[in-house]
Structure 1
Amino acid sequence: MAVFAICHSQLAGAACNSEIRNATKASERIAAEWPLRLPHDAKTQYVRKIVDYLAPVIKLNMESGHFNWPSEGKWEFLLIRDLSANAYSIGNGKVYITDGTYNFVETEAELAAIIAHEMAHQLMGHFCRNDKNSAARGIGSFFQVLNKAREIEADSLAVEILLHTHFPPQAMLAVVERMPVLKQAVVQKKLRIEALEKQLKDVKMIPFTSSPEFLRIKQSLSAGHAFE
């Protein structure tokens, strides 16, 4: 849904040195400032399960050699105990998702779309050079980078990824349509929706039912069990 970064953007290949260095520094600051769920927490593990499903799909069905994979091919998804809905990448395969994202999504497919979108930021190399065309707003000691072109790129790749899965790719559009945005991002949201509608115009909707595991986790957070 967003990119949190101190630097960002390169074309493709492998994680660059500055990306790795900055991602390491940022992850240390996040760990110090924000309440993270443990890696073996059930809610974190469920997100990890989706990542472990999507990563091989990308390698097997897409021209993955052109992508900017994390160093050593490792993805690290962690959950933050925060009931606001947010998800963001910081580079080198490190992605953070808030508990509130479970409340925000209506289906398991929408959660998969958010995860695919954040993976897409990494795969498209959005973390190695400063971009003069990006807007940013401060959150804690970090900045949320708002870059129209890169968000549209990540949306598009997320749809392509979902097309190779059992998740309906229309879930990406549903996420963007419902997500709350700041006043300065309203135009960006409109352009993202238009781009997704064009991409999905001829894509048939496939039947989909969320898994019992996903529904249990969503219900537990909706019931106010965020600190379990």
Structure 2
Amino acid sequence: MTPANRLSLSRNSQLRSYRLAGTQRCLAAVLGGMLLSAGPQVAYGLCLGELERSKDTRQRIDQEWPLRSSGDEATQYIQKLGVRLARYSTGGDTIPWRFFVVRNLSPNAFSIGAGTVYVTEGAITFARNESELAAIIAHELGHELAGHFCSQATYSGSPGLFDIFSAAPPSPQLQEVGAGSVRQTIDPAKEEQADQIAISILQAAGYSPLALLQVARRLPSGGETHLLDPRRIQSLERILDGYRDVPALPDSEDFKEVRRELMR
């Protein structure tokens, strides 16, 4: 069996696993609507309470963090790219995707549930090509599609945000990092699951799955950006072992223009 076939089989297995998760999310939404008809209705196949929790977190982010406007060229580009990637996922059409660009030069990306994803200007300029930027966004889609925001515990105390650029500590305990009143919860198992889904999305969308590993290996060290757990890189290397890279989609003109403008 060739490496490409092995990855294809792995991808199919992964798609089946989170297709089931997506079905369970939709079922929970239907049952929730039947049992809680007097309260807010859950739509888009999201988990019960996920939309409300995400809205609360988004309000705090809007108040504390500098965001580019929805009509901004960079924001429109990230929205377009994110929605395109979501089309290549199972269950992606049941989520109301919204993408925002944060005016911050540190390479960062995170999601807060209910299809809401944030990407910093630094993440866009950090990506050497569109495949690497797609890998960063696909990782965040993975968290959303895997139902990582279904648990109330994810939002208790500190809202659960997942960051491809942050690392889990050597111990198995969760780590919280962040700025202002919004903090990120880093769970090694969930990070690996998001990576697996991201690889499936990248391959289906025509981007190089190796881009995710390339991004991980280039992460900055020190400062406010936490070091990536070596286990994450080892996990990616294991999943992609022997995979022969194929020609990826060429960089779009939109990517080139947005990145060029942000680097001025």
| TM-score (normalizing by structure 2) | 0.71
Residue 179 in 1 paired to residue 201 in 2?
no
CA separation of 1:36/1:182 partners in 2, compared to 1, >3 Å: closer, same or farther? same
Q: 1:32 aligns with which of 59, 63, 68?
A: 63
Alpha-carbon deviation of 1:197? 0.9
Larger-Rg structure? 2
Residue 214 in 1 paired to residue 245 in 2?
no
Alpha-carbon deviation of 1:55? 1.9
CA separation of 1:44/1:190 partners in 2, compared to 1, >3 Å: closer, same or farther? same
SS state of the match for residue 229, structure 2?
helix
Contact 2:102/2:121 (CA < 8 Å) preserved in 1? yes
Q: Deviation string for 1:156-186 (max 9, x for gaps)?
A: 1100111112211101111111123569964
Residue identity (%): 36
- Tell me what 1:6 maps to: none
Residue 17 in 1 paired to residue 48 in 2?
yes
Following superposition of structure 1 onto structure 2, how do residues 123-202 of structure 1 map, counting pairs within 5 Å?
A: 123-129=145-151, 130=153, 133-180=173-220, 186=227, 189-202=229-242
Residue 91 in 1 paired to residue 113 in 2?
yes
Q: RMSD between aligned alpha carbons?
A: 2.2
State which drifts further: 191-200 or 45-54: 45-54
Matches of 1:15 and 1:52 in 2, distance apart?
17
User: Which ranges in structure 2 are unaligned for 5 or more consecutive residues?
Assistant: 1-20, 26-44, 155-171
Code of the aligned partner of 2:240: L
Matches of 2:129 and 2:191 in 1, distance apart?
21
- Tell me what 2:31 maps to: none
Code of the aligned partner of 2:140: E
Code of the aligned partner of 2:201: I
- Tell me what 2:79 maps to: 48
Aligned residues: 203
Alpha-carbon deviation of 1:219? 1.3
SS state of the match for residue 215, structure 1?
helix
| TM-score (normalizing by structure 1) | 0.81
